[in-house]
Amino acid sequence: MRSEPRYTKRDAEQAIHKPGERLGNFLPEDAPSYEDILQCMRCGFCLPHCPTFAITNRERSSPRGRAQLAKAVAQGELELSEAVCYEGFFCLDCRACTTVCPAGVKVGPIMEHVRAQSRNEVHPLPPGWRQFREFLLEYMLPNHDRLEDSMLAARLYQRLGVQWMVRNSHLLELAPGTLGETAEKMDGMLPKLEPPLRNRVPELVKARGEKRGTVAYFIGCIMNLMYPEVSRATINTLAHQGFDVVIPKSAKCCGAPHLTEGDRETARQLGEHNVETFLRWDLDAIVTDCAGCGAALKEYEELLEGRMDERYLHEFRSRIRDVSEFLVGAGMRTEDLKPVDMTITYHDPCHLAHAQGIAKEPRQLIEAIPGLKLVEMFESNWCCGSGANWGLLHPEESEQVLDRKMANVVKTEADAVVTLNPGCHMQLAWGVRRSGLDQKAYHLMELVGRSLPEESVPPAS
C-alpha cells in the first residue's frame, strides 16, 4: 500500500465546481444536458424495448415521450409539472432504449436529473416522507456500521419464527391500501439472512498459486447485507485465480440508490470518498459483483466533473470491472475446477447489459465452469421489474414485468436462473417462489464458487 494517497482532500478543495446555467424551466442545479435531449430523433426504435411503454401503451411513458417532455421543459414550453416528474420516477432506468437508439440518447440519466429537480426543489415530499428519505439516504446508507446493526432485527425476525407467523397468518393483507401489498412483497423478497461479511474478512486476502496481480473488491451494501455468501464466493474466486484481493473496510455505498432517488449531492460525496479510498492502493482493477454498483462507479467521471481532478476520475474509471468482465479478460484458470452439473438460463441485468454494455462476458464465464450448461431464454435482456425501489413503488406494474420474465424462464426448462445483480437476484427468487416453480435463482458467482477446490476456500471467521 502507498504511504501517501494519490488523491488527497487538498485536490478536492482546489477543484473548481462550475454550477449549471438555467435551462428553460429546469433549475440551474443538476439540469440535464440540452445537447443530450436534442439527440432524440423521435424514430421510435426504443418503443418495443421499453417495459413501461409495453405496460401502458402510453406515449409519455416511453423513452421517446420522456425525451420530448424534457425537451419541452428545457425550451420553456412546459413547466416541470407533477406529471413530468411522475414520468421521471416511473422510468425503470433500465437503459434498454439507449442500447437500441441510433443516436445514443440516454433517457435514463436524463430522467435521473428530472428526479433530482423534483425531489430537491420543485415538488418536495411531505415533511414526514422527506425526513424518512433523508434518514435512509443521508444517515443510514453512507454508513456500513449502521446498516449492519439494523439488519440484526431482520435476522431475528427470521430466526425466531416471526416471519413464519406473519406469512401464515396473512396479517399483512389487513394493511390499508397498497401498504400491505408492498410489505408482503418486501417480506417475500427477503433471502435467508446471514451475518454481514465486511467485518468477517481481512482487508487483504492473499492470492493462491502464482500471483497475477492485485485487485480491490468493492463490497456493495446489498451484497454485504443480503448475500454475504456471494461476496465470499467472489473473493475466493479472485484469490483462486491468482490475485491478491484488497477489501477496503472504509469504502461506502456507490451512490446508486441516491441517484435513483434524485439525491445527487449525497451521491457526489460518496463518490469523492470512494475515489480517494481506492486510489490509495496500487491496483490492477476494482472488481464488483453488483451490476448496479458497477454502473454507478463507472459514471463517477460525469457525476464528479468539476469537483475532482479529471485525471483521478479517469484513473478510477479505467479500473472498474464487473467480476465477469475481469475474470474473462484475465483468462480463467480452469485446470482444478470441479464440475457443477446444472442446466441454467441467464438473465442479463439491465445495468450490466445496457448501462455497461457487458453481455458476452457472463456467458463466457458460464462456459468456463465444468458441468454448467446454458440454455438461452427469450428476451434475456428484458428487465425483471426490480429497478431499485421501482418494484416497491409500483408493485402491480412490477408484477406485470416480472410475469413476462418468468414465463420466459419457464420455457427454458432450466434447473435455475442466474444473474449478476442482487436486485435482480431478489426479484427473480421472489418470482420463482410466487409462481411455485421448481427452478432456483442464483447469483452466478455462487455457482463459480461451487466449482473451486475445497482447499482454496478459507474458513468463515
Give the model confidence (pLDDT) of 206-258 as tens digits.
999 999 999 999 999 999 999 999 999 999 999 999 999 999 999 999 999 99
β-sheet bridge partners, residue 214:
244
- pLDDT at 167 > cutoff 80: no
Q: Which three cell numbers stand for residue 110?
A: 436524463
Q: Are 199 and 227 in contact (CB under 8 A)?
A: no
Q: Of the given ranges (48-57, 121-130, 164-173, 213-222), which has the lowest mean pLDDT?
A: 164-173
Task: Kindly indicate the confidence band of residue 435, based on its pLDDT and cuts at 50, 70 and 90.
Answer: confident
Model confidence at 1: pLDDT above 50 = no
- Between 167 and 106, where is the model more confident? 106
Q: Which of 204, 389, 203, 397 is nearest to 292 (CA)?
A: 389
Q: What H or E segment, with its residue span, contains residue 315?
A: helix 310-319
The class of domain 342-450 in CATH terms is: alpha beta
160-164, 289-293, 368-372: which has the minimum mean pLDDT? Answer: 160-164
Report the half-sphere exposure of 9 (CA within 13 A, side-chain side): 1
- List the grid coordinates of 48: 418495443
Please answer whether residues 5 and 279 qualify as being in contact, where contact means their C-beta atoms are separated by less than 8 angstroms.
Answer: yes
388-433 confidence digits (pLDDT tens)? 889 888 888 999 999 999 999 999 999 999 999 999 999 999 999 8
pLDDT for residue 19: 46
CA 5 – CA 3 distance, rounded (Å): 7
What confidence score (pLDDT) does residue 186 get? 74
Please indicate whether the domains covering 34-122 and 342-450 agree at the CATH topology level. no
Instruction: State residue 120's pLDDT score.
Output: 67
Tell me how far apart the 2 most distant CA atoms of the chain are, in Å: 66
Q: pLDDT-based confidence at 13, cuts 50/70/90?
A: very low
- 457 or 363, which is more confident: 363
Domain ranges of the chain: 34-122, 342-450
Q: Give residue 161's pLDDT.
A: 76
> 190 falls in which pLDDT band (50, 70, 90)?
confident
> Looking at residue 379, what DSSP letter applies?
T
φ, ψ of residue 440 to 5 degrees: the values are -115, 165
pLDDT exceeds cutoff 80 at 24:
yes
Average pLDDT over residues 27-46: 89
- In this predicted structure, the answer to whether residue 272 has a pLDDT above a threshold of 80 is yes
Judge: domain 34-122, CATH 3.30.450.40: no
* pLDDT of residue 10 exceeding 50: no
Reported pTM: 0.90
Q: Which among 435, 374, 419, 392 is positioned nearest to 223, based on CA atoms?
A: 419
Average confidence (pLDDT) over 21-32? 84
Q: What is the pLDDT of residues 117-159, one digit of tens each?
A: 887 666 777 788 888 889 999 999 999 999 999 989 888 887 8
Compute the average pLDDT of residues 437-443: 93
Q: Is 9 a residue whose pLDDT tops 50?
A: no
What is the structure's pLDDT at 392? 83
Position 165 scores a pLDDT of 77
Taking CA atoms, 255 is separated from 137, 213, 263, 270, 380, in Å, by 9, 28, 9, 6, 27
How do residues 333-348 score in pLDDT, each as one tens digit? Answer: 999 999 999 999 999 9
How far apart are the C-alpha atoms of 75 and 221, rounded to whole Å? Answer: 39
Mean of pLDDT over the chain: 89
